[in-house]
């Protein structure tokens, strides 16, 4: 998963993705990342179904290895929606529309959500102090969404949130649920 404003290192070894990186480096250096839908294993070599919302990233660094593999770093740019695919290449090439996120009309609500998020992170084992408080709201929320140990479908849901405030609130809810579950206070009947 890739989120806007976050860096993602990747090792590219499959022939079709090597071709994709070659083409990206020869062009605008932009690659789109999408999550494969459940059951993708049966058609991995083909074109298994993907979620329609992904994130575009620009290749900021690349290293071409002697055997044709690549090490690259993507920096997330913005969300997109897949409109259609061109199936002429070995890798997936899509027509997309950029999805611009709404600006936050509730800065106080975002500040409160960020405070709650930081408090939850501080209470998580192994997570204390991993993100400096000097990070912008967008950098913090997106870095946590990308790098925390969440299920891929949870990360997809976060990416699909409409705006930073909604994404921050959803991340808070996920972490609160995790905390309740870890403390054994969650049962099939609700919170105790």
pLDDT in tens, 151-178: 999 999 999 999 999 999 999 999 998 8
Burial of 139 by CB count in 10 Å (0-12 exposed, 13-18 middle, 19+ buried)? middle
Report yes or no: 136 and 6 within 8 Å, Cβ to Cβ: no
Q: Has residue 35 been placed in a domain?
A: yes
Examine the domain organization and report whether 67 and 26 are in the same domain: yes
Domain's final residue, options 48, 69, 99: 99
Q: How many domains does the chain divide into?
A: 2
Examine the domain organization and report whether 56 and 116 are in the same domain: no
The per-residue pLDDT for 160 is 97
Examine the domain organization and report whether 75 and 120 are in the same domain: no
Domain hosting 26: range is: 7-99
Examine the domain organization and report whether 112 and 88 are in the same domain: no
CATH number at residue 62: 2.30.130.40
| pLDDT > 70 fraction of the chain, expressed in percent and rounded | 85
Q: Has residue 122 been placed in a domain?
A: yes
Mean of the pLDDT values across residues 93-111?
Answer: 90
Examine the domain organization and report whether 114 and 175 are in the same domain: yes
Examine the domain organization and report whether 53 and 132 are in the same domain: no
**pLDDT tens per residue across span 133-152:** 688 999 999 999 999 989 99
Q: Has residue 137 been placed in a domain?
A: yes
Residues in Cβ contact with 76 at an 8 Å cutoff, skipping those fewer than 6 apart: 2, 3, 4, 5, 6, 7, 8, 55, 56, 57, 142, 146
Q: Has residue 64 been placed in a domain?
A: yes
Report yes or no: 102 and 162 within 8 Å, Cβ to Cβ: yes
Mean of the pLDDT values across residues 69-88?
Answer: 95
Q: At what angle do helices 164-182 and 152-160 cross, to 10 degrees?
A: 150
For residue 127, pLDDT over 60 is answered with: no
Q: Has residue 28 been placed in a domain?
A: yes
Q: Has residue 190 been placed in a domain?
A: no
The per-residue pLDDT for 33 is 95
Examine the domain organization and report whether 20 and 91 are in the same domain: yes
Q: Has residue 113 been placed in a domain?
A: yes
Examine the domain organization and report whether 86 and 15 are in the same domain: yes
Mean of the pLDDT values across residues 32-50?
Answer: 77
Domain's final residue, options 72, 99, 126: 99
In the chain, helix, strand, coil percent, each to 5? 40, 25, 35
Examine the domain organization and report whether 80 and 15 are in the same domain: yes
Distance, in Å, from the CA atom of 131 to the CA atom of 138, rounded to the nearest integer, reads 12
Examine the domain organization and report whether 81 and 39 are in the same domain: yes
The per-residue pLDDT for 116 is 93
Distance, in Å, from the CA atom of 7 to the CA atom of 75, rounded to the nearest integer, reads 4
Domain's final residue, options 99, 115, 135: 99
Three-class HEC string of 65-134: CCCCCEEEEEEEEEEEEEEEEECCCCCCEEEEEEECCCCCCCHHHHHHHHHHHHHHHHHCCCCCCCCCCC
The per-residue pLDDT for 52 is 96
For residue 126, pLDDT over 70 is answered with: no
For residue 125, pLDDT over 70 is answered with: no
The per-residue pLDDT for 2 is 96
pTM of the model: 0.85
Mean of the pLDDT values across residues 84-94?
Answer: 90
The per-residue pLDDT for 192 is 46
Q: Has residue 1 been placed in a domain?
A: no
What are the φ and ψ backbone dihedral angles of 141, each rounded to 5 degrees?
-60, -45
In terms of Cα–Cα distance, which of 132, 96, 137, 119 is closest to 175?
Answer: 119
């Amino acid at each position: 998963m890739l989120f806007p404003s976050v860096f993602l290192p990747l090792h590219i070894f499959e022939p079709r993705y090597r071709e994709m990186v070659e083409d990206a480096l020869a062009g605008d250096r932009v690659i789109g990342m999408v999550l494969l839908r459940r059951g993708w294993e049966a058609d991995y070599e083909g074109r298994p179904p993907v979620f329609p919302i992904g994130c575009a990233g620009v290749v900021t660094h690349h290293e071409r290895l002697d055997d044709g593999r690549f090490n690259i770093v993507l920096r997330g740019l913005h969300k997109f929606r897949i409109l259609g695919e061109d199936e002429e290449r070995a890798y997936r090439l899509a027509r997309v529309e950029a999805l611009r996120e709404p600006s936050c009309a509730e800065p106080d609500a975002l500040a409160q959500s960020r405070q709650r998020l930081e408090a939850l992170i501080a209470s998580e084992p192994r997570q204390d102090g991993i993100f400096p408080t000097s990070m912008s709201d967008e950098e913090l929320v997106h870095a946590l969404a990308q790098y925390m140990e969440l299920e891929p479908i949870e990360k997809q849901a976060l990416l699909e949130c409409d705006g930073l405030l909604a994404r921050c609130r959803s991340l808070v809810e996920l972490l609160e649920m995790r905390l309740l579950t870890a403390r054994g206070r969650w049962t099939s009947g609700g919170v105790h």
